[in-house]
Structure 1
Amino acid sequence: MSFNKPISEQSKIYEFNGFTLDNWLNPCADPSMCSALGRSIEIGLLATLLATLLGTLAAFALVRHQFRGRSTSNLLIFMPMAAPEIVLGSSLLAMFVAAGLAGQLGFWTIFIAHVMFCLSFVVVTVRARLAGMDDALEQAAMDLYATPAQTFWKITFPLVFPGILGAAMLSFSLSFDDFIVTNLNSGNTTTFPMYVWGVSRRSVPMQINVVGTVMIVVSLAIVLIGQSRARRQAG
């Protein structure tokens, strides 16, 4: 459908009318679509960076340390994953209103909201990697007089990194794709899912299919590259 040539602006997006490369050659025929897409990518990258950093630190704390309130922390981490998005989005909106940000909803409130629900997925993913990791190599490194910093960067971090990378990719996917939480906390800011929802009431630009195709190709490329590297390392 990304190569579909619409007969008119009212052409349905899933009716193939003819082959064309115009959609690929002019992906920003509707400038507002590219603006919304860029905004979603920017928010997704920033939210992924912060959520991955905080979530990784929290996962290490929950797995490697005993402290008062540990079980309560586990419960709080799982709550955003269990709660319906409409509940999470409305709760965050209530928090922003209570903080006096009702008239300032936009890019940064979306960013904070995305970090809040991505954080739980990062903690769970990295925690699973840490819990299943054998600490024999870390103990061997310390027996060979490695400092705690050397042990972490040369042993622990490389072993945990696949889990951190997977958590980051999951966070970006969740942030980029989110609509409900974003819609409640966006103000006048438009992200790509909100743009798609808005234009679906009228005529949907064929360039949306170009974005979808690129996302699928990039996702498959990441999976294939990861499998290729794993096979080379195993060989």
Structure 2
Amino acid sequence: MVSATSKISRFNVASLALGLGFLYLPIVILVIYSFNASRLVTVWGGWSLVWYREFFHDEAMIEAAWMSFRVAASSATIATLLGTLAAVALSRGERFKGRTLFSGMLYAPLVMPEVITGLSLLLLFVALDAERGFWTVTIAHTTLTMCFVAVVVQSRLGSLDRSLEEAAMDLGCDPARAFVAVTLPLILPAIIAGWMLAFTLSLDDLVIASFTTGPGSATLPIRIYSEVRLGVKPEINAICTMVIGLIAVVIVVASFASKLSSAQGESAAPL
């Protein structure tokens, strides 16, 4: 029995190591070569920060990065507002007509291929004769990320004790004031986590943005993709490393916010 358990344990460890290596070894190599002094990507020339300095002198790349951050922040904020309202409607209005249809339409982007979503939005903007640029990309990313925010916030609302709101209303609060004073502070960590998730998804998106962007509004993923098609430059490694670092920070903060939300949910759960 001990031998069999040992073999299974070694197999699990080996499988985990291979899986993590497959997922993260390319990222580690990219990060290491972002500090490569050589202009040739495949030739190591020593440690250097030259390509990070090169990025901050590349006006086109900085403009694309600024566009990505503006789009991500704007779409994440709008998606968080709409997704939170949708989550409240689904969790507090269990019996309203059309709930099933509304829920299905809200969560459709979770399973719909991004190519279809991007093409559909492109056809919509063309039909409306809308000039493609910052706002079309923002609207497209809001459509993509709103459902993720709704999932996070609805899960948090489902774990709350509704008697807390009822107690507030018994003490004289109307439903809106009870929600703002009691429920909103409890779900705030989930809202923050949803915003960070939406921000990350928007910052990372290439497919939908490529359908809905226009002249002068290329995002950072589109710019990187266009550069890579002509050959990988060491500067691209530096840019990707900075994006990886930013996303890692966002994920850590979102994780802490989610844990805080879960802890508050357990303390507020009915006994």
- For the aligned pair, the TM-score class normalised by the smaller chain equals 0.7 to 0.9
Contact 1:2 1:24 survives alignment (8 Å): no
Distance 1:209 1:190, change over 3 A: same
CA distance in 2, matches of 1:221, 1:181: 26
SS at match of 1:37: helix
Deviation at 1:25, TM superposition (A): 4.5
Structure 2 equivalent of residue 178 of structure 1: 205
Choose the corresponding residue for 1:195, options 197, 219, 223.
Answer: 223
* In structure 2, distance between residues paired with 1:99 and 1:5: 48
Deviation at 1:213, TM superposition (A): 4.7
**Displacement of 1:2:** 6.6
- Give the distance between the partners of 1:71 and 1:37, measured in 2 at CA: 39
Normalised to the residue count of structure 1, the TM-score between the two structures is: 0.85
Give the alignment of 1:128-207 within 5 angstroms: 128-188=155-215, 189-201=217-229, 202-204=231-233, 205=235, 206-207=237-238
Please name the residue that 1:29 is paired with. 57
In the alignment, does 2:124 pair up with 1:95? yes
Structure 1, 167-176 or 186-195: larger mean CA deviation: 186-195
Q: Given residue 151 of structure 1, which amino acid in structure 2 is its aligned partner?
A: A
Q: Contact 1:3 / 1:19 at 8 angstroms: preserved in 2?
A: no
Please tell me whether residue 127 in structure 1 is matched to residue 154 in structure 2.
Answer: yes
> Equivalents in 1 of 2:155, 2:252: separation in Å?
25
Counterpart CA distance in 1 for 2:46 and 2:255 is 32
Higher relative contact order, structure no. (Cα contacts within 8 Å, ≥ 6 residues apart): 1
Deviations, residues 65-91 of structure 1 (Å, cap 9, x unaligned): 232211110110121111101111111
TM-score between the two structures when normalised by the length of structure 2: 0.75
Structure 1 partner of 2:132: 105
Are 1:27 and 1:210, in contact at CA under 8 Å, matched by a contact in 2? no
Work out whether residues 37 and 47 of structure 2, in 8 Å CA contact, stay in contact via their aligned partners in 1. no
The alpha-carbon deviation at position 138 of structure 1 amounts to 1.8
Q: How big is the shift at 1:129?
A: 1.2
- Selected match of 1:7 from 27, 38, 45: 38
Q: 2:100 aligns with which of 56, 71, 92?
A: 71
The aligned counterpart of 2:239 is: 208
Question: In the TM superposition, what whole-angstrom CA distance separates every residue of 1:31-89 from its partner, at most 9, and x where no partner exists?
Answer: 21111111000000000111111111111112112322111101101211111011111
Indicate if the aligned counterparts of 1:23 and 1:210 stay in contact, CA closer than 8 A: no
C-alpha distance after superposition, 1:10-44 (max 9, x if no partner): x11x6542111334445413221111111000000
Distance 1:225 1:131, change over 3 A: closer
Q: Measure the CA separation in 1 of the matches of 2:97 and 2:248.
A: 46
8 Å contact kept, 2:68–2:220: yes
**Aligned counterpart, 1:60:** 88
How far the C-alpha of 1:199 sits from its partner, in A, is 1.2
**Cα pair distance change 1:207/1:29, threshold 3 Å:** farther
15 and 85 in structure 1: CA distance in 2 versus 1, 3 angstrom threshold: farther
Structure 1 residue identity aligned to 2:66:
G
- How big is the shift at 1:224? 7.7
Unmatched runs of 5 consecutive residues or more in structure 1:
none
**Matched residue of 2:156: which SS?**
helix
Percentage of identical aligned residues:
33
**Which 5+ residue runs of structure 2 have no aligned equivalent?**
1-31, 267-271
2: CA distance, partners of 1:59 / 1:224:
20
SS in 1 for 2:46: coil
State the secondary structure of the residue aligned to 2:38.
coil
More helix by share: 2
Q: Partner of 1:118 in structure 2?
A: 145
